[in-house]
Structure 1
Amino acid sequence: MDKIAEKQNKIFSKKKFFVSNKIFMGTETVAEQLRSARQNRKIKLKQVAEKLKINYKYLDALEKGDYNKLPKGIYGKNFLREYANFLKLNYLDLIAAYELEANIYHPREEKELFAKQVIKNRYFWAMPKVIKNILIIFIVIVCFVYLGFRLNRIIALPNLLIISPADNLVTKQRIIEVSGQAEPETKITINGETILNNIQGNFNKTINLKIGLNFITITASKKYGKNRTITKQVLVNPVAE
């Protein structure tokens, strides 16, 4: 009796497996569900790609079940979610089937990818402590040096070179040209009047002089920095040689 019962159990198990396997094989894959839903809506895959702003090759890979061509991780699943929502399909059912199919057809590749990611993430922490500390200190120093350099450029006195007039100039002329050079981003004023400088930082201005001693004040200023001021004295003497 025991042998007969055992034989019947084996036959029943085989039938159950056959029925279960038949049901699984009869179920549409993710690719088939996507393709059927799109074809029922009578819309081309390129049109879907344009509407969803997803690369055509990724949608084509989903419809062919070629998961190797999809971006790894969350990006591939996001494409599936957007496509499923567009076709009015149940995303939760599809993602479950998608993960099952991916594990069946590409398990080794996914495991290797995961292993590579783990190695890459742990590489830094696996380094000797002394080398790791040196790298951290070096990075901190480089950051401080860069920030210091940028801050110095902002708050330092701007460069200002006066080409004309010369110091303590004596002349008979009542008109003189003031010219010079400064950093391109600086603001130039001559006796309180703003002067435009070109992209090289060059500037010039013709001003009228009075008989006697004239003071010409040139100021270069940055938006967040200090000002640099140079004052030139020009003596107008009609009888000067």
Structure 2
Amino acid sequence: MNIFTEKKIFLDSETVAEQLRSRRQELGLKLEKIAKEISINFKYLEALEKGNFNLLPAGVYGKNFLREYAVYLKIDYRPLVEMFERETAGSNQRQQQELFSKQVVKAHYFLAMPKIIKGIVLVVIVAVCLFYLSYRVKQIAAVPSLNIQSPIDNLITKEKSVSVAGVAEAESQLIINGESIISDTNGSFLKEVDLKKGINIISITAQKKYGRSITIKKQILVE
């Protein structure tokens, strides 16, 4: 059990990475151990401590990892998330400027090409775009994968709770008995569910962000 006391260590001169790293070192903890305890891939915790935020998953997942890590270290995560947003915003702006510069160079090179080569290049680009769009549409239309490893079907037990574990399609939203839960980057999840005497129905749903959903129900009898 994590028994550290919450500590505010925010200094104007310290980055998000520096604050996380110094707090962990102050507590004498190994990054590998923390990764196992909070079920976050080691490489993402390492990216947070090194400030390599571009290596984190896109969207809210990076913020969620930061929040869970900060909570584990007993750091007030709210100002830390604000700093994270400012730092990543600056990084994104630099990346956009670099991308714009590269696009200007590519456009100049393209205009200097012969017409036949231009035509071939355009056909290839259109074909690739159509293939990608078709692939994305199929992905959205498909039912997300959901594999329940525990509990088994029609389980009979005397326990007052059961561990619900499995693997869902990465980045899909997971809901167990109406409660949203967070999976790791590989889609693995684990949730302890309370049971009552008699028949219990556990409903596990995986929902794609812009697509379909799948629901698996497990029946458990508590004697």
Q: Give the TM-score taking structure 1 as reference length.
A: 0.42
Of structures 1 and 2, the larger Rg is shown by 1
Structure with bigger RCO (C-alpha 8 Å, 6+ apart): 2
**Which structure has the highest helix share of the two?**
1
Given the two structures, how large is their TM-score scaled by the length of structure 2?
Answer: 0.45
